[in-house]
A and B are shown apart, each in its own frame.
Chain A
Amino acid sequence: MNLTLRIWRQKGPEDKGRMVTYPVNDVSPDMSFLEMLDVLNERLILDGEDPVAFDHDCREGICGMCGLMINGDAHGPQRGTTACQLHMRQFTDGETIDIEPWRASAFPVIKDLVVNRGAFDKIIAAGGYITAPTGSAPEAHSTPVAKANADAAFESAACIGCGACVAACPNGSGMLFTAAKLTQLSLLPQGQPERYTRVIGMVDAHDEAGFGGCTNAGECTVVCPKGIPLNTIGRLNRDYLAATTKGAGNTPGS
Chain B
Amino acid sequence: MELFTEGDPIADTKAPAGPIEKRWETRRFEAKLVNPANRRKMTVIVVGTGLAGGSAAATLAEQGYHVKSYCYQDSPRRAHSIAAQGGINAAKNYRNDGDSVHRLFYDTVKGGDFRSRESNVHRLAEVSVNIIDQCVAQGVPFAREYGGLLDTRSFGGAQVQRTFYARGQTGQQLLLGAYQALERQIGLGNVEMNARHEMLELVIVDGKARGIVVRDLVTGEISTEMADAVVLASGGYGNVFYLSTNAKGCNVTATWRAHRKGAYFANPCYTQIHPTCIPVSGDHQSKLTLMSESLRNDGRVWVPKNKGDDRNPRDIPEDERDYYLERIYPSFGNLVPRDIASRAAKNVCDEGRGVGPTKLGVYLDFADAIDRLGRKAIEAKYGNLFEMYERITGEDPYEVPMRIYPAVHYTMGGLWVDYDLQSSIPGLFVIGEANFSDHGANRLGASALMQGLADGYFVLPTTIANYLASGPLDKVDASHPAAVEARTDVEDRIQRLLAVNGDRTVDSFHRELGQIMWEHCGMERSEAGLRKAIGEIRDLRDAFWQRVKVSGTGEELNQSLEKAGRVADFFELAELMCIDALHREESCGGHFRAEHQTPDGEAQRDDEKFAYVAAWEFTATGEPSVLHKEDLKFEYVHPTQRSYK
Contacts and interface: CB of A to CB of B under 8 A. Distances in A.
Contacts of B143: 150, 154
Contact of B286 (A59, A125, A158): A59
A143 to B, nearest CB: 8
Interface stretch (B36-44, B73-81, B327-335): B73-81
B284 interface: yes
Nearest to A150: B144
B139 interface: yes
Interface string B293-334: 000000000000000000000000000000000000000000
Interface in B235-270: 245, 247-249
15 contacts: A49-B551, A57-B249, A65-B74, A114-B557, A121-B76, A121-B186, A125-B187, A135-B457, A137-B138, A144-B144, A147-B145, A157-B141, A157-B166, A161-B77, A190-B136
Contacts, number: 219
B551 A150 contact: no
A32 B134 contact: no
Contacts of A111: 556-557
Contact of A60 (B150, B388, B550): B388
A163 to B, nearest CB: 10
Interface of B: 55, 58-59, 62, 73-78, 80, 82-83, 92, 94, 130, 132-139, 141-150, 166-167, 169, 172-173, 176, 179-181, 183-184, 186-187, 193, 195, 218, 245, 247-249, 281-282, 284-287, 289-290, 387-388, 391-392, 394, 457-458, 461, 503, 505, 507-508, 549-552, 556-557, 559-560
Given A133-B59, A134-B62, 6 more contacts: A38-B284, A57-B78, A124-B77, A137-B130, A137-B134, A150-B141
A153 B59 CA distance: 25
Nearest to A37: B286
A157 B195 CA distance: 22
B388 A65 contact: no
Given A57-B248, A140-B150, A144-B147, A117 B134 contact: no
Contacts of B172: 62, 158, 160
B286 A38 contact: yes
B236 to A, nearest CB: 14
Contacts of B503: 46
B149 A144 contact: yes
Contacts of A65: 73-74, 78
Given A12-B556, A38-B286, A188 B505 contact: no
Interface stretch (A77-85, A92-100, A207-215, A241-249): A77-85
A188 B247 contact: no
A60 B83 contact: yes
Interface of A: 12, 28, 30-32, 34-35, 38-39, 41-42, 44-46, 48-51, 53, 55-65, 78, 80-81, 85-87, 89, 110-111, 114, 116-118, 120-121, 124-126, 128-141, 143-147, 150-151, 153-154, 157-158, 160-161, 184-185, 188, 190-191
A185 B503 CA distance: 53
Q: Which of A151, A157, A190 has its CB near the most chain B CB atoms (within 10 A)?
A: A157
A128 B542 CA distance: 50
Contacts of B560: 41, 45, 51
B247 A59 contact: yes
Contacts of A125: 183-184, 186-187
A134 B132 contact: no
B169 A134 contact: no
A132 B137 contact: yes
A98 B642 CA distance: 56
Contacts of B183: 121, 124-125, 128-129
A183 to B, nearest CB: 11
B62 A56 contact: no
Given A34-B286, A134-B62, A118 B195 contact: yes
Given A38-B284, A118-B195, A158-B169, A85 B391 contact: yes
Nearest to A160: B172
B388 A154 contact: no
Contacts of A121: 75-77, 183, 186, 193, 195
A161 B387 contact: no
A194 to B, nearest CB: 10
A58 B59 contact: no
Contact of A154 (B150, B166, B184, B392): B166
Contacts of B149: 141, 144
Contacts of A135: 130, 134, 457-458
